[in-house]
Structure 1
């Protein structure tokens, strides 16, 4: 399976009040941690969608292991970063895309490999993460879903597609994953590292 990993890092961090992609974490930043884990995955090419704060990110984080995709419509929500990424990837020869978020620093290479393994056995089905009562990203989408991803609008990302009862998907439990959206969530992350 030829897999592209697409890290969404174009958001404005409105709830955080500061660019969360650049918040210090371990020996890097939130985004840097996600890039490190994605880059350690075998046989995958990593892409990162930048929008808001792109110049600050380029100055602060080592992006040498990733291909940069710029989202000029980042003010219109998370879906625009997915669309920007898929517009590039659909022109290439990938069998699937694995979508990650820059604000999920607890993602591991093992998590990514687990999703990939499930996709190899089920190549035409979406493989999504399940944490708590939520189904979401990281999620792996076969290329037969690229056209649906290109139709996404607003700030919900792929949530509607992943939570549509008519969408065939396999859920992989990932109870340690969480989004870091607020200063309180970031402080909790730091307290538990």
Structure 2
């Protein structure tokens, strides 16, 4: 797959190494003046050296689409100076990995690519990315988070060789950086290891210099400009760290899962109901500044890696769905019930993609449904083929529901307005529930339901 990594520092390079060795095409973006301390093991070095070698990877600085394509064709990694990551517009990556490590999101959106991964604190799975990979040293380092966020930044670096804060070298004053010790050199506590803004910087401990900013970089007072390692292993200065490999392993796990899933599943959005109990077309009712149908279209838009079919009879819904690149099947007979929409959606999916493992059916009047819950339903279906996967709470089943292909013949025989509930009772042992919050499962049947939701959100 084509993968864009935002950032080309040592951790981002560790991520790239995992993906590169699995055959993926990689483009990395960087700042005009990278501030990578462990630059000997970072492809960001290519920005000012034009070419950087880290273990068996070569990163080459490029300035155009054509140059990048030539680098990828020869099996190397393209590095581009691109603060805003506008590269994604011509590269059209399958996956974006935000490995800037700014401890906050600097502009990554879940819709920037079919699959988006946030690395470290500052991201929330299901909001600005599909998943988050933990970067804090410890028991959960490298784990993939599908709901929630990474451990918040504590401001205290991880323990290496019995040292934490002491191992950092920080700028003593704002100004130009000038190293007085080289990467790989042994230094004593109190020794001058750099000069910043004309002020000397002393080592806070003895050990080997594992990282040091390049000469000439402009730094602010207190910025991390170097790193000392008490273990004094010279090889650690020129090889990817255990932490970077662990985080890279988490990213590779998530990428591999997406790669295998994206051709197996599809979405059907059911938006053709007449709203008889509501009294009018409830899908056009507004909540938090968006109509109900716009809310579900926007959430499913986060899954652009999968085919999406919208079943509706409404022209406005049809138009907005097509603008998002979704397929539309027009239901002219809503009086035949939800079963008719289910069958229309299923048949349409099968004309788009003959071989498919399962289809996720979602209603349009469930505004509290979270993207992270949809993602976890897909994950569960991938790991448990042949099952019926649905959102639920404390044993109670709800929507959305992902039906495995083995149930398609039964779905095509449905009739009336009860949808897949007719099939559930015959396959209770095959039903797996993905736990969701109770509020997510609430749908809007009548005007009172909508009034209650508006009060909850302060409208």
TM superposition score normalised by structure 1: 0.90
Tell whether 2:303 aligns with 1:41. yes
Which secondary structure does the structure 2 equivalent of 1:40 belong to? helix
Query: What are the within-5 Å matches in structure 2 for residues 1-80 of structure 1?
Result: 1=261, 2-41=264-303, 43-51=305-313, 54-58=314-318, 61=320, 63-65=322-324, 66-80=326-340
Query: What are the within-5 Å matches in structure 2 for residues 119-138 of structure 1?
Result: 119-131=381-393, 134-138=396-400
Determine the C-alpha separation between the residues in 1 that align with 2:444 and 2:293. 11
Determine the C-alpha separation between the residues in 2 that align with 1:70 and 1:19. 16
Which residue of structure 2 lines up, in the alignment, with residue 181 of structure 1? Answer: 445
Q: Which runs of 4+ in 1 moved over 4 A?
A: none
Structure 1 segments unaligned to the other structure (5+ residues)? none
Q: CA deviation at 1:165?
A: 4.7
Which secondary structure does the structure 2 equivalent of 1:136 belong to? strand
Residues 43 and 123 of structure 1, relative CA distance in 2, 3 Å threshold: farther
* Structure with more relative contact order (C-alpha pairs < 8 Å, separation 6 or more): 1
Q: CA deviation at 1:55?
A: 2.4
- Which of these residues, 414, 424, 432, is aligned with residue 152 of structure 1? 414
Structure 2 segments unaligned to the other structure (5+ residues)? 1-260
Which residue of structure 2 lines up, in the alignment, with residue 111 of structure 1? Answer: 373
TM superposition score normalised by structure 2: 0.39
How many residues are treated as equivalent by the alignment? Answer: 190
Determine the C-alpha separation between the residues in 2 that align with 1:165 and 1:142. 12
Q: CA deviation at 1:75?
A: 0.6
